[in-house]
Structures are given as C-alpha cells and as structure tokens.
Structure 1
Amino acid sequence: MSQAALSYVHPTPDSPWGTYLSQVDRVAPYLGHLARWIETLKRPKRALIVDIPIELDNGSVAHFEGFRVQHNLSRGPGKGGVRYHPDVTLEEVMALSAWMTVKTAAVNLPYGGAKGGIRIDPKQYSRKEIERVTRRYTSEIGIIIGPQQDIPAPDVNTNGQIMAWMMDTYSMNVGGTATGVVTGKPIHLGGSLGRVKSTGRGVFVTGREAARRLGMNLEGARVAVQGFGNVGSAAAELFAQSGSKVVAVQDHTGTIVNEQGLDVAALTAWVKENGGVAGFAGSERMADEEFWDVRCDILVPAALEGVVTAERAQRITAKLVLEGANGPTVPSADDILADRGVLVVPDVICNAGGVTVSYFEWVQDFSSFFWTEEEINVRLDKIMVDALCKIWDTADKHKITLRTATFAVACERILTAREERGLYP
C-alpha cells in the first residue's frame, strides 16, 4: 500500500481510498516532470469530523457523526456533494472528495474536490429531525465552506430541500443571503434549470459518443441500469428516447427485467409513487445477483461504489460500461474488463454532468442572471463531448484505458496548478 495510507485510514486494495490510490499510481508514468508532485494527490488537504447532536421528536438527544473533506484546492474552491447514509465513513468521503478533484479537472472546471457525509439512515427519521441534523451539520462545517471556499451539493439521500436548509443556515450565520454556498437548490432559491437530470444526461451524452466511436447503434441497443435515482432514471429515459431498450433495472428494492424493454416513463412514475422498482407491472422479478448476467450491450452502474467486483466483471455481457456512480468498479475488475475488450467510460468523466451544471448554477448565482434549460443542455453537451474527445485522444496516444487517460489529463492540470502556485510559506 502507498505511503499515503494515512494513519487515520487503513485502506484495502478494493476499498474506496485504496481504489483511488491505485488509480493515481497507474497514472504516474504519464505525468512527466509533474510526477514529483504526485504525493499531493494522495493526501487530502483538510478533513473535518464533526459531532451532530440534535433533539429528536420524542425529546431524547441523538448524536450523529458528520464529515467534510477537502481533497485539493489548487484549481479553485472545493466542490462536492453531501450524502446521508448509514455506512458513511471518513475513508469513503476522502475517496469521493479525491474523485471530485479529478472530475472537475477532467472537464476543466475551476474547482477543486471536496465531499461531505453524515452517518445516518434518513428513512428512520422525520422531516423535522432531518432538518435539525442538516442545520447543525451546516453550522459545524460552516468554518470551511463558502461560495469561494467549498460549495456542497446533493448526493445520496440528499436533495434540493436539504440544500435549501444548508443555504439558509449558512446565510443566517454570516448575516446575509449567500445563494452560492451550495448548488442543487430549488429553482426559486437560485437553483439552475436542468440540474436534477444533469448527471444522468452526462452519462447518456458520453455513452452516445462512446457508442458512436465503437460503431454501436443506440437504436435497439440493450441497456441495463443499476440504481434508479436521479442519475439512473434520467440516463434510462434518454436512452429509451434514442430507441434503446432498457431491459433490466436494479435498485434497493430489487431487480426487474423485461426482454422487450421496460416502459421507462411509466417506471419512473411508479418509483416516484412507490419508492422503488419492485412490483412494477410489465416486468419480471429476478434475483439481485443475476442482474450481472443480464444480456445487454450497455451497462450503467449508477448506485454506490465498489459494486463491479472481479467476479462480476467476468460475467458482464455488455461491451460498454458507463459509470454513473462514483467508484463502482474496483481496480481488479477494471483489468478484467479491459482484458475482455469491454470499454469502460469512467465515473470521473461519465458522471461529470452534475458538477458541470452545478458550475453553471454557481456562475448564475454570482451574476443573478439565469439561462434557459435549452442553453444549459447545449453548454453541458459541448463540455462533455469536448472533454471526452481530449481523453480519448490521450488514451489512443499512450495505448491506455479511458480511466487512466482521464486521470492523466486531470492530474496534469491539477499538478500544473500546484507547481505554478508553489509552496507556502
């Protein structure tokens, strides 16, 4: 394990931080003289752990543990989501913040990488309790966030309402309305049109470009999607509109399949009403593990990290994997997919549509001038396609995978900024 296995984190090779360190090590040969700065990428700049005590509705006091990690700020303020999940750990948040550093650089946004999280199962608490948790967490991390310091956004189990509470809490604490402190806000509080579906749209746009380069026709292509939240559902919708057949979907409630293609619009409405895909009419239930055996052309893992293991990588039938989630493929699985000729469009470019439109929102908040959804989508599509083309050229030049090429392009930008800024003092 790298010497950057910090004293407070003990990663394994396939753990989130271990996976990230492996990815950085693989890119070192392509960094030239900038490789002398590579330890910068292996150490988060700042990690904050906070206690979040709140009074529950029954009058008792509960404590939750929260995190905010700023991995690298060489290219601009930190940018990254906040997740509420019972399995959140410091190591996971560190890795997610590091992937944000790479992601923002890969699409050339003027940001560094950050991430936050609270170890909580939000389904077990009332709306008022979640509001108290959110406001106390925001107050605790308020010492390191701000429109020019670190800008949180929604992630797993968080949404526009939680961003509104975060923005309001921060604003009350600084004595003025600061809409730019978070992105992913409701539209009437300075949010951007197109933000909710932007990550899924980015998955589709990069997938469409990759399919074109592979000579794969989206008309009739079979698509399997793991995770049917904002990312998976939006990507599935766009693939269906392009004539593809979404044949299988898996989420936390189960796995459904239809060889003739699921009605994605109806499924989206069902999930909104029922909280998951299980029980959807016009589909058959399948054992969760069998999802990885589904015959498909395109696989979209859009749930949590570490789900594409070495064993599952041997079974995947798709020729194209689009990483809608952060870190879904462990390094050993990456190698297996590459050996099998399966093209993986990595998370750090594939799901960068969300942070790109978050950037648009941030810019619009500063100017108080807002764009139409059509303008948003045109700008997003151009940034995603241009970024992927640059990465693809790098992959062809060095005969490396798209993931290593993405890291090469991004890390060169990050470390150039680090070198030009120098060390202080």
Structure 2
Amino acid sequence: MPDQPYLQLTWQDRVTGKTGHLVVDRLVRGVASGGLRMRAGCTLDEVRGLAAGMTAKEALNYDPAGRYIPLGGAKGGIDCDPRDPRAGQVLRRYLEAVRPYIETIWTMGEDLGLRQDDIDAALAEIGVESSIMAVYPLLEDPAKARRRLSDAFEVVVDGVPLDELVGGYGVAEAALAGLGGLGLEPAGSRAFVQGFGSMGGATARYLARAGVRVVGIADAVGVVANPAGLDVENLLLTRNSFGEVDRAELRHGDAQLPLRKWLDVEAEILVPAAVSYAITAENQAAVQAKLIAEAANMPVTAEAEKSLAERGVLVLPDVVVNSATNAWWWWTLYGDIEPNAESAFAKISSSIRALVASVLDRANLASSPPRAAAAALAAESFRRIEREFPTA
C-alpha cells in the first residue's frame, strides 16, 4: 500500500486554540471509514498512524462472499481533554469544520474520549444527518440498512448496550485464540485490563465469562486488583461515563493501587485498552504477561514490541484484535448479520478467531512477528480490493 495518505489536514479552534486533525489514508469506492477521538496531546502523527491502521482493519475483514465491501481507512483526532467543560463546543466546531468530508467521504463513529451519543448530538446541532452518511450511496436499500443499524443500537445485553460490547467481545475472542496458540487454557489463566471504558469493560466481561480470572483493571483513577478475581459484572454496571470504577462497590480483598503500578499485577494476559503508546521501551521490562492483546490503538511502541518478542511475549496487533467494532457496524448495515446480539457475537467470534489463526500461521511460516504477518495479509487483501473496486 502507498505510504502517503490521500488527505490530511489540521484545524485550529478559533475560540480555544485547540487543534484537531483529519487523515484519510485511502478511499475505496470513494469512501473511507474510521472513528473520531478526543484526548489531550493528540497529534497529527498519531492520527496518521491510526488512519493507516483503519485501512488495514478494513482489508483484513474483507470476505468476497459477504455483502459488506470494505472501505478505505481514515481517522479524526482532537487535542482536547474530554473532561474540559469546553470540550462539547470544541467538538461541535470541529465537526462543523470537517462537515464537507463527513457528508461525502468520511464515515465515522466514537473512539477514545468520545461517545457516539456525543457525536450524534453535535452533528444534529449543525444539521448533519448522520456520522455515516457518506456510505449511504453505496447501499442497495439505505432506509432498510439504517433501520437494521438503528435496531442494533437499541439492543441491551445484561445491562450494557450491544454497541458498547462488540469491540471488547472481539478483543476477548482474539485473546482467547492467542491463549490457545500458546497452549494455555482460560481456566487457570489471569488477565489484567488497562482501561475500563466500553472496550476494556466488555473485554473483561467476556474473558471472565470464558473462565479467565480478571485479577486487575486500571482506570483513570488508579488500579483495582484482587488475585482471587474481581467482580467484573458489578464493576462494569456501576462505572461512570468515563469508565471509572465506583470505589464504593469494591469488595473485601479488592486492593487499590496507584496508577503507576498497572504493570505490577501478575497475569498471563495483558490487555492495554486505553491510550496509545502505553507500553514503551522504558517500561516494557515490567510486563509479566505471556500475551498482550492490543485493545487500544497503537498501545505498544515498536521498540517495546521488539524487546517483548525477544522475551517470548506474544503481541497480537490492534489491527486484528480491536477490529470487531468497525466490522460490526458494516456487517449490520450491509445485512451480513441480524441486528441482535446472537448474530453479532457469532459472526465476531468466527471472524476474529479465524483472523488470529491466519496471522499466527503466517507469522510462524515466515518467522516474523504477528504484526508483520498481519500487515502482509492486509496488503494482499487490499491489492485484491484495488483490483475489484475503483480506489483513489
């Protein structure tokens, strides 16, 4: 795939001076897909890397037998703390500035620091119909497709909306597949999840339901750990909108540790599900896990990953592990799955597990890291997409 993105821009808010970025890495049939994040310190380089990752995720989920035809990759990012009281207005002004792209080439949804409800409300304020309206011309029956997606967003599974679960369910399935590749069983394995928002919370739920003992989680406040296992369900249902655990809900035996201690909790599975660049060359030596499942985007730096591989730590890359959220939107919209939890979870499980198996097989065959294997598979798939569909 070419190195230069199709489009990149930086916007500055005239009121606060905050900056925002948009990168469209590739177009397929004139459209690209990727979420919008908000965090203090978000950079153009970060957004560029995320957009390229979206191109790979779309390509990796291409099934010629399916109705869903992958799009190109894109990403948006706003350099603003989502807790800032001005964040809502910054979001609205950013969306107003990039409105022409949303209406024509960029389909997007929530990402780190933003919820879909926040995006939808801001778009409604400026008169934009939908965050995914650019894909409507590619649908056979847009009205029917939109009803399917709307119905899916109404589904609640054990107290949590389905759209907040699909990504983490995919992460859990990827981690379980990776665990099997290491010859380990869920029963007897422990997991630590860094980040307890929609992605991290759902990952913890479905790892626990598979028999893995979740011995620790980290949120913005600190670490909660218990070697006997946390009551994930209770913590999940009592967290706040920022993914922070209600400390009043902790049980006897649940320990509270400073946030800096997040790598000190012993576990076979480590799930970084919060910010990018969380595991670096400086802190990778503290990693005790045998498997890292990248639920966040770009949480392990290249230097850290090299050192981890030398120590025998298996790192499953983000473009595979966290690709279920994006794919679920399109599987539902295009009609590859029904708008219910059973259909969604079955498709995610079969697709993610098959993708992890393909990546690990390629990695073993080529004696390469899983990330390189995933990149090779994505490039092969993207070339096929380029041959079959007009691409800019």
Task: State TM-score, norm by structure 1.
Answer: 0.78
Counterpart of 1:17? none
1:359 aligns with 2:330: yes
Counterpart of 1:84? 38
Are the equivalent residues in 2 in contact too, given 1:75–1:110 (CA < 8 A)?
no
Cα distance between partner residues in 2 of 1:422 and 1:67: 26
Stretch deviating more after TM superposition (401-410 or 42-51): 42-51
CA drift of 1:63 comes to 4.3
**CA distance 1:327–1:188, change in 2 (3 Å):** closer
Cα distance between partner residues in 2 of 1:376 and 1:395: 28
Counterpart of 2:226? 258
Secondary structure, aligned partner of 1:115:
strand
Secondary structure, aligned partner of 1:335:
helix
Are the equivalent residues in 2 in contact too, given 1:152–1:181 (CA < 8 A)?
no
1:217 aligns with 2:185: yes
Deviations 1:236-272 (A, max 9, x none): 0111112211111112111121111111112123323
1:342 aligns with 2:342: no
What is the number of equivalent residue pairs in this alignment? 366
Cα distance between partner residues in 2 of 1:182 and 1:264: 38
Are the equivalent residues in 2 in contact too, given 1:346–1:403 (CA < 8 A)?
yes
**CA distance 1:178–1:304, change in 2 (3 Å):** closer
Match of 1:121 among 81, 94, 107: 81
Structure 1 segment 14-413 matched on structure 2, within 5 A: 38=1, 40=2, 42-53=3-14, 61-74=15-28, 77-108=31-62, 110-125=70-85, 130=88, 132-146=89-103, 149-165=105-121, 167-168=123-124, 172=127, 177-178=129-130, 180-181=132-133, 189=150, 192=153, 193=155, 194-272=162-240, 276-277=244-245, 279=247, 281-282=250-251, 283-363=254-334, 371-413=339-381
Whichever residue aligns with residue 112 of structure 1, its letter is: G
Cα distance between partner residues in 1 of 2:203 and 2:30: 29
Secondary structure, aligned partner of 1:311:
coil
Identity fraction in percent? 29
Whichever residue aligns with residue 82 of structure 2, its letter is: P
CA drift of 1:218 comes to 0.4
Are the equivalent residues in 1 in contact too, given 2:102–2:134 (CA < 8 A)?
no
Root mean square deviation, CA, Å: 2.9
Cα distance between partner residues in 1 of 2:187 and 2:290: 15
Counterpart of 2:159? none
Stretch deviating more after TM superposition (218-227 or 375-384): 375-384
Structure 1 segments unaligned to the other structure (5+ residues):
1-37, 54-60
Secondary structure, aligned partner of 2:215:
strand
**CA distance 1:311–1:358, change in 2 (3 Å):** same
**CA distance 1:187–1:114, change in 2 (3 Å):** same
CA drift of 1:418 comes to 4.7
**CA distance 1:188–1:239, change in 2 (3 Å):** closer
CA drift of 1:355 comes to 0.9
Counterpart of 2:65? none
Cα distance between partner residues in 2 of 1:356 and 1:211: 23
CA drift of 1:200 comes to 0.5
CA drift of 1:47 comes to 0.8
Task: State TM-score, norm by structure 2.
Answer: 0.84
